[in-house]
């Protein structure tokens, strides 16, 4: 039972990581100087929704969310939440592999501290 | 050519914390939505009953509204800084929940959880430091 929950959560995290990479790729095409105040939100949203990569990201998020609901129905949030800590390592790897982000030793140390911190919270 | 991301500012950091608060609200709303279905074990045969129960629960729709606002804030953040920095700082949500429990529910926090909280805080510190000191690389 626990293995099933663990595998489901791992799959949710993989889908989430994929969607974040697609969102970052889409956001990279936005002009940060063009980001509006409240009045310009519809235009900003329109620009975002024109990108196919955003829709692929939404598809992955939807699959992940559907799986997440089945996890929540079977497991306590107190178990499911800490296991999500693995996402930080997945995001580090994906940011470097697919987005070419430089992961310095300080950032790696940050990711490791956060992951161990989440494990400690999960065990407490 | 890879577009260089900008540096972490106080405004971006505070926006990330706002995303964390919205995320916590969405998670709690989704949990309420899942509980409202009264189905504790989802299989193929009761999947549609589970889905229709979810669609008629307020929790699902409040959660989706939180996600929409979060998405707009998140895209703004991602257009300005690295995904690896933004995502690591988002882990501050693991700090928010215990602190809110201590302040509002007067809950005791076990020693191991304090260590976890401290490690996450240190991790966010290292990440923010990397986002400020690694900027403007010479490549």
Give the pLDDT of residue A36: 62
Question: Which residues from chain A sit within 8 angstroms of residue B99, using beta carbons?
Answer: none
Q: What is the pLDDT of residues B123-134, one digit of tens each?
A: 999 999 888 876
Alpha-carbon torsion (A76, A79, A82, A85), positive or negative: negative
Show residues of chain A in contact with B80, CB under 8 Å. 32
Mutate to test the interface with B, among A42, A47, A55, A73 (most CBs of B within 10 A): A73
Residue-by-residue pLDDT tens, chain A, 124 positions:
677 888 888 899 999 999 999 999 998 888 766 666 666 777 778 888 889 999 999 999 999 988 988 887 777 766 676 777 788 999 999 999 999 998 999 999 999 999 989 888 877 7
Q: How does pLDDT run across B43-59, given as a tens digit for each residue?
A: 788 888 888 888 888 98
Give the span between the Cα atoms of A60 and A92, in whole angstroms. 19
Q: Into how many domains does chain A fold? A: 1
Name residues 21-50 of chain A within 8 A of B (Cβ): 21, 23-24, 26-28, 30-32, 35, 41, 44-45, 48
In the numeric block, the tokens 């494990």 are attached to: A119
pLDDT at position A43: 78
pTM of the predicted protein model? 0.78
Of B39, B79, B137, the CB nearest to A27: B79
pLDDT tens by residue, B5-41 = 677 888 889 999 999 999 888 878 888 888 888 877 7
Q: Do A44 and B116 touch (CB under 8 A)?
A: no
Question: Are the beta carbons of A24 and A53 closer than 8 angstroms?
Answer: no
Interface test with A, best of B61, B126, B129 (most A CBs within 10 A): B126
Q: Is the pLDDT of residue B118 over 90?
A: yes
- Give the one of B30, B75, B88 whose C-beta lies nearest to A111's C-beta: B88
The boundaries of the domain holding residue A39 are 2-123
Question: Taking CB atoms and an 8 Å cutoff, what residues of chain A touch B31?
Answer: 72, 77
Return the pLDDT at B139. Answer: 37
How confident is the model over B79-108, as pLDDT tens digits? 889 999 999 998 888 887 777 777 776 777
ipTM of the complex: 0.84
- C-alpha B42 chain-centroid distance: 26
pLDDT of residue A16: 93
C-alpha distances in angstroms, B133 versus A90, A106, A112, B2, B128?
Answer: 23, 10, 19, 19, 9
Burial class of B134 by CB neighbour count within 10 A (0 to 12, 13 to 18, 19+): middle
Pairwise CB contact (< 8 Å): A106 & B130: yes
Size of interface A-B (CB pairs under 8 A): 158
Per-residue pLDDT at A98:
94
Other Cβ atoms less than 10 A from the Cβ of B25: the count is 17
Closest approach of A10 to chain B, Cα-based (Å) = 17
């Amino acid at each position: 039972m626990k293995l099933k929950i663990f595998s489901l959560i791992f799959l949710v995290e993989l889908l989430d990581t994929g969607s974040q990479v697609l969102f970052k790729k889409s956001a990279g095409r936005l002009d940060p100087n063009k980001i509006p105040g409240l009045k310009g939100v519809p235009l900003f949203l329109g620009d975002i929704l024109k990108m196919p990569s955003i829709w692929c990201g939404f598809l992955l998020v939807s699959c992940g969310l559907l799986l997440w609901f089945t996890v929540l129905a079977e497991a306590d949030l107190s178990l499911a939440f800490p296991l999500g800590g693995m996402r930080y390592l997945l995001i580090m790897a994906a940011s470097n592999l697919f987005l070419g982000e430089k992961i310095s030793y300080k950032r790696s140390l940050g990711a490791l501290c956060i992951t161990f911190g989440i494990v400690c919270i999960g065990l407490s | 050519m890879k577009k260089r991301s900008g540096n972490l500012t106080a405004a971006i950091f505070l926006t990330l914390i706002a995303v964390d608060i919205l995320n916590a609200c969405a998670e709690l709303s989704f949990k309420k939505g899942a509980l409202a279905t009264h189905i504790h074990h989802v299989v193929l045969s009761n999947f549609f009953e589970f889905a229709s129960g979810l669609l008629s629960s307020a929790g699902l729709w409040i959660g989706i509204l939180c996600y929409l606002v979060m998405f707009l804030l998140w895209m703004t953040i991602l257009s300005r800084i690295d995904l690896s920095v933004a995502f690591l700082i988002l882990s501050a949500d693991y700090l928010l929940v215990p602190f809110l429990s201590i302040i509002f529910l007067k809950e005791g926090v076990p020693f191991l959880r304090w260590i976890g909280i401290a490690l996450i805080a240190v991790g966010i510190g290292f990440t923010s430091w990397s986002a400020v000191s690694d900027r403007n690389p010479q490549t």
